Amino acid sequence: MEFREFRDNCFIAAARRGFECFELYYAKSTDFSVRVRNGEISEYKNASQAGLCFRGIYKGKMGYAFTERLDEELIEALLEKAAENARVIDSDDEERLFREKTKYPEANLYNPELDKFSETDKIQMALRMEKAALETDSRVKSADYCTVSSGGGDVLISNSYGLDLTHKSNLFCAYLEAHVEENGVVKTWFDFWYGRDLAAFSPEELARNTVQTALSYLPAKSLPSGEIPVLFSPCAAADLFNAFVSVFFAERVQKGFSLLKDKVGAEIASAAVTIRDDGICDRSITGAAFDSEGVPCRRKVIIDRGVLKTLLYNLKSADKDKTESTGNGFKHSFRAPVETACTNFYIEPSDIPQEEIISSIPRGILITDLAGLHSGANAITGDFSLSAAGRLIEDGKIVRPVEQIVVSGNFYDLLHSITTVGNDLRFGLPGSLGIIGMPSILVDSLKIAGE
C-alpha cells in the first residue's frame, strides 16, 4: 500500500476512534558502505529500512505507535497501541502538532545521478583511494578506515491539520586515515569528502592530501607549558563546538544542563562572533526545509556580534518558554522521540585568510586536531581538557609541528576570547546533533600543558 492511501484510511479510523488530532511520520532510507584494507573488502553494508510513527492526542495526552508495514489490516492495532500509550502517560508536559500555515524554503538535496552510481563503482573507488594512499610515499604503512559510503531517503509528514510535506535527499561520503612511520615514529591523519557531485571528487587527491598531512607531523614534538594564543583550524574548531553545541538547545537550558538560562539578549561572546543555524545554507550541501515536526527550518542568528539572540527550539521546548519553534525538532529514526538538533550551525566567516591571521601572531599555536572530546569536555560547566596536535607559530610563521600537548579552558570563556575568525568555513561530517561548520578562530589565550 502506498503511504497516502494508508494515511487516508488511517486518518478516517483515527477520527472515528476519538483522537482529537493526529499525524503520520514516514521515513524510508538506504545505507551503503564499503571499507577496504590491503586491496580487499574488509567490511560491507547495504541496508534499507522504512517505517512510520503515528501520534495523536487521545483524551488529552499524546499517544505513539509504530509500524514497519503499510498494511491496512494493521491500522486498528496501530491506533489501539497509540490510545493505550496515551492512557498510561502521567507526565504533565504538553505536546502538540504543528498546525500553522506557512511557507517553506526550497531545498535541492537530491541528485538522481548519484543513485545511478553502482555498488561496484563505489568499491572500485575505495580501492583506488587505498592504492593511491599506499603509493604516495614509502613511509605509508596503512590506510585504515578507507571507506566509501552513500545514503539517501524520503521523509513524509501528514497531519489532520492539513500538513503534507515531502523531503528527499541523498549523499556520498569518502574518508580514510593514513598511518605513516619513520625511524620508529608513527603518525596518523584523518580526512574526508562528502557531496552529491562525484565529478568534483577525486579519491586519489583525498588520499594524497591525507598522507602528506600525516607525513608533515613526523618531526612533531611537544611545547613548554604555558598560556599562549591558539588558532583553531576549521576542523578542530568544528570538533570543539560539536562538544558544546547542545548548550544552545532550549530543552537543555530548561533542564539545567546549560549555563545560558536567562541569557537571551545578553553579551555571551566577543563582537567577532556571529553564529547562525540555517536550514538551507549556500555554503553547505546538507540541510532540511522542515524539521521532524513539520516546522520550517528557517535561517536564524543565534549570536549576533556577541549577543545571544535565541536558543534552538522544538515545539515542546518552545511552548514551555512561550515562544515559537525555530525548526530544530528532529527524530533520528521513525521510532525515536523528537529532540533538538542543529541544521547547519556555523560561525559567520570573515574575509580574512588563515595565512593573514597566522602572520599577526608573534608566538602561538595552530591546533589542527583534538582528541578526548567525549571524556574531556563537560557540556554543562563548559570546562574542557583535550589532547591536541598542531603547529607552532613564531614571528607570524609556522615553524614546526607540535604534539603531546593538552589544551584546556572553558567554552563560555572561550566565546569571549575569540578575537578573529577566518574566511575558510568548512563543515564537518553530519552527526546526531546536526552539522557543524567553522572557519579558523583565533583565541587570545588558552592554557597549554606540554613539557
Q: Is residue 229's pLDDT more than 80? A: yes
Q: Is residue 24's pLDDT more than 80? A: yes
Is the domain of 149 the same as that of 253? no
d(CA 87, CA 77): 15
Is the domain of 197 the same as that of 295? no
Whether residue 129 lies inside any domain: the answer is: yes
Q: Is residue 266's pLDDT more than 80? A: yes
Identify which of 78, 174, 82, 92 has the alpha carbon closest to the alpha carbon of residue 125.
Answer: 174
Q: Is residue 280's pLDDT more than 90? A: yes
Is the domain of 299 the same as that of 206? no
Whether residue 161 lies inside any domain: the answer is: no
Whether residue 2 lies inside any domain: the answer is: no
Q: What is the pLDDT of residue 109?
A: 94
Is the domain of 239 the same as that of 210? no
Domain interval for residue 437? 226-449
- Of 63-67, 99-103, 370-374, 399-403, the range with the lowest mean pLDDT is 99-103
Whether residue 232 lies inside any domain: the answer is: yes
Q: What is the pLDDT of residue 89?
A: 85
Is the domain of 206 the same as that of 264? no
d(CA 287, CA 257): 26
Q: Is residue 91's pLDDT more than 90? A: no
**Which CATH number is 151's domain given?**
3.30.2290.10
Question: Are β-strands 275-277 and 300-304 bridged in parallel, bridged antiparallel, or unpaired?
Answer: antiparallel
Q: What is the pLDDT of residue 74?
A: 95
Q: What is the pLDDT of residue 312?
A: 98
Number of domains in the chain: 2
Q: What is the pLDDT of residue 92?
A: 76
Is the domain of 300 the same as that of 413? yes
Mean pLDDT of the chain: 95
What is the biggest distance separating any 2 CA atoms in the chain, rounded to whole angstroms? 76
pLDDT interval class at 248 (50, 70, 90): very high
Q: What is the pLDDT of residue 93?
A: 77
Whether residue 212 contacts residue 140, with contact meaning beta carbons closer than 8 Å, is answered with no
314-346 pLDDT, tens digit each: 999 999 999 999 999 999 899 999 999 999 999
Whether residue 42 lies inside any domain: the answer is: no
Q: Is residue 6's pLDDT more than 90? A: yes
How many residues appear in the chain?
Answer: 451
Q: Is residue 362's pLDDT more than 90? A: yes
The percentage of the chain sitting over the pLDDT mark of 70, rounded to a whole number, equals: 100
388-437 pLDDT, tens digit each: 999 999 999 999 999 999 999 999 999 999 999 999 999 998 888 899 99
288-307 pLDDT, tens digit each: 999 999 999 999 999 999 99
Alpha carbon distances (Å) from 58 to 19, 62, 78: 5, 6, 13
Whether residue 306 contacts residue 268, with contact meaning beta carbons closer than 8 Å, is answered with yes
Whether residue 335 lies inside any domain: the answer is: yes
Average pLDDT over residues 195-199: 94
d(CA 220, CA 186): 10
9-22 pLDDT, tens digit each: 999 999 999 999 99
pLDDT interval class at 90 (50, 70, 90): confident
